[in-house]
Amino acid sequence: MRILNLLNNDIVNNYSKNEIVQMPPLALAWIGDAVFEVFVREKLIFEGGRNVKQLHRGAISFVKAEAQCRIVRELDEYFTDEEKAIIRRGRNVAPHTVPKNASITDYRYATGFEALIGYLYFMKEEERLAFIFNKAYEIIRNVKE
């Protein structure tokens, strides 16, 4: 996965674990959202997607709150206690807006998932991100089929 190559590059700063843990959960979720989106887009393109409209629809099915909530719930047994704490921090942040196409519960779990992705990204946990990305992709792909 090319997105993970960024982790071994000078583009991503070397933050201390303490700095990363103290980041606001919504900041972690904000970067996590972007990282997960790039992963999904890359995966869809290399599966043979060429029509931008179809690629966009495909990406939405992976990044919408309902899908990310499903991912968190189905991967719960795989998360470490530390990862569960990051998810909980992200999930417990009161949303500034009410999502129009998602329940509050789904939206909060999605925020927790994105916070975890942001955390692992900043921690440069390449193998862990790859594991979670691939499991998440399988979960949503199976729902779509």
pLDDT by residue (tens digit) across 80-107? 999 999 999 999 987 777 677 888 899 9
Where do we find the tokens 């779509």? 144
- DSSP per residue over the chain, as a string? -HHHHGGGSTTS----HHHHHTS-HHHHHHHHHHHHHHHHHHHHHHTT---HHHHHHHHHHHHSHHHHHHHHHHHGGGS-HHHHHHHHHHHTSPPSS--SSS-HHHHHHHHHHHHHHHHHHHTT-HHHHHHHHHHHHHHHHHHH-
pTM listed for this prediction: 0.87
Per annotation, catalytic residue among 33, 76, 81, 106: 33
pLDDT by residue (tens digit) across 110-131?
999 999 999 999 999 999 999 9
Distance CA 41, CA 44 (A): 5
Q: Architecture of 16-144 per CATH?
A: Orthogonal Bundle (1.10)
The answer to whether the beta carbons of residues 41 and 56 sit under 8 Å apart is no
Give 12's contacts (C-beta < 8 A, 6+ positions apart): 6, 121, 122, 124
Active site includes 33? yes
User: Is pLDDT above 90 for 145?
Assistant: no
User: Cα 112 to chain center, whole Å?
Assistant: 9
